[in-house]
Amino acid sequence: MCTWTAIQDKVKLAYCNFPHCELWLQNLVGAGIDTTTTTVEWAMAELLHNPHMMARAKEEIEAVVGTDGTVEESHLPMLHYLDAVVREVLRLHPVIPLLVPHRPSSTCTVAGYKIPEGTKVFINVWAIHRDPQFWEDALKFEPERFLSGGGCKVDYTGNSFHYLPFGAGRRICPGVSLGERMVKLILASLLHRIDWSLPDGVKSDLSEKFGIVMKKEQALVALPTLQ
């Protein structure tokens, strides 16, 4: 109710009643939680599929945080390999594979294609991120491509049109900065001083289930062991 009171105080709109703002807040929280947890799940799935990468990420986290410390946001800028892992996860498994659809306010021509006013336009970033024209070994999970010397200099701002996990331009995801930090913080906390393995008899599976949010076809099940 405190949040609702704050909205009433700051947003003096006749149509901003409690049900409207409740749904608005649910959309904000729901969108942030679902996309964040899905990205973390894909990251853990890829690291379990590539144990040497998980070992490297854990070694970096231990070197920066220490064995007795707790992962803090201040540690994130020093976790370069973890950053590369997250970037590669967002490349190979973009959480919103078709982004949010847009409609042009007037008829326009893009790359020779006429797009009438009001046409619903989707951007297939899933395909763009796997295009061998832009990515070497496009189907291979390779965080090293985002490290210094890896040859891939892109960021989340949408300035590189072959890497658009959060969209681009004025309609870029408003939660890009928070989402990036939360994924790294959660992933680093999961890897710090915890060993992970698949249950006996369970094979690594990276199959995708298409939807507005690109999830794993089968939910990830992993066993933690405290160090």
Largest Cα–Cα separation, the chain: 60
Query: Binding site annotation covers 16?
Result: no
Q: Of 188, 218, 161, nearest to 79 (Cα)?
A: 188
Q: What does the alpha-carbon distance between residue 97 and residue 209 come to, in Å, rounded to a whole number?
A: 11
Q: What does the alpha-carbon distance between residue 46 and residue 81 come to, in Å, rounded to a whole number?
A: 14
The answer to whether 214 and 165 are in contact (CB under 8 A) is: no
Q: Of 203, 186, 227, nearest to 45 (Cα)?
A: 203
Q: What does the alpha-carbon distance between residue 200 and residue 59 come to, in Å, rounded to a whole number?
A: 25
Annotated binding site: 173
Annotated binding site for heme: 173
